[in-house]
Structure 1
């Protein structure tokens, strides 16, 4: 693995990324490449990089797992901004960087994303046609989630509160940074926060299982207004032309990945090859890092990318071991 930073001419800050390289990597060759997008509140060292990035690299792909602007080790101020438009633009910036690398085949670039990153991956593919295949892993349409559960089903009231807070900050007030999860499993239990997705997210992000310094699970409240008017799947009926795979667990939770995955699969009529992978016995956060559901996802994902991006068949055969 190589750690890099790069700056696109369109940005005033650097993007930090980990490049996962295949076994017996040879810089004189060119490789199919996958850009990997982390979840909302996450970082490149968690599921997008250490699980799926590492596994796809072992299967013969170059994988670029990066931190979103304003998050992790990437630049951008103020910190912990969750901006869907910037998140989607980051994908193009990473591809801009990837195509300058001599070992990246610019005609064989795919994208994956986990959770909110899955929604961003699917949305990016609508307009970024350098993406030749896309996989949403337990994908969440963050705009829908903000309009519903994250706003207490009161999006206008939430926007009003954001407006007041932004004015207060512009006048020198303290930034309101919201913690997205209970700080521990014990705190979740004490406060009755045992809904599947909330509790399992806490188990992933707030314990040694998945905890990483860059995975802050924080959001700057005043700068999230645009999220409430954003729709990851707008115009997908006509613009999702690339091969597309959606991986969802049937054990549904409040964050709505199963619902969102089924929606984009149903709407993407123009995709030349749309595939749905349903995992009956697994939940949203199981698919982040647990061996069995990750293995089931990879058994479908690796041949999918091999077909549409090309790859070393020996590695694809090895994927049968997952």
Structure 2
């Protein structure tokens, strides 16, 4: 199958393009957000090819995966000459948890009988109002970085991109509070240096550095489900996390502590820092769970099933990809 998709979420796309399909990603001369092309920070296979908007007019694709409202409403038709859902089988991949009042969480692709919305968590599927649009939930999957945990540093590792700008959303304000509660923290991520953390590490370097910390702290209040959390579990790290959005479903009890009580989280983190054996046991449980729930094979199989279903339904309805 030949799949058109924009390079929006590098980590997610890295897993998606590990399948057996061909993947077409738009590219612009300046590699701006609507045309990033192939990733430069992740390892993508040769089956991912770049095409300019002009080239997309004559490109044979079987299905498009859109990820942003303007891709659905403007870019896809403008660049391919085909209307998503009407001239081209279409899946709207929704990465994010909705924002705003609970009664007003209407999805931009709601009430579209000609496409399918794919959510990355059950929480998102529950909270987004998609109207009559068919929805599916395909849990995250990642390329296994391998068991790297050593936990030699009695500190908590945290990964937050743009921690200062995102503030309360990512729980950045909680980090000094954890430190005052006796939980030393090392922050990693884009712009982390502004808060005394570490940034500009390649993914493999980040994994190695993170795995040296005794536990992984996930202070995020509102996000879909951070891939950094799933990666930490794959590394074999025990987890201390806020019980918000999808986290209670993603972290089993034996892998660490999930709670909305700050005192319980701080106490659990201190206990892991003080007990390397308990930390390693919890990390082993986290890895075993992550390999089953968020393994790459399951992820790609789920996506193959959805892609085949969407294309087959479109063909039965009389739509033919060019």
Q: Do they superpose with TM above 0.5?
A: no
> Larger relative CO (CA 8 A, sep 6+): 1 or 2?
1
TM-score (norm 1): 0.33
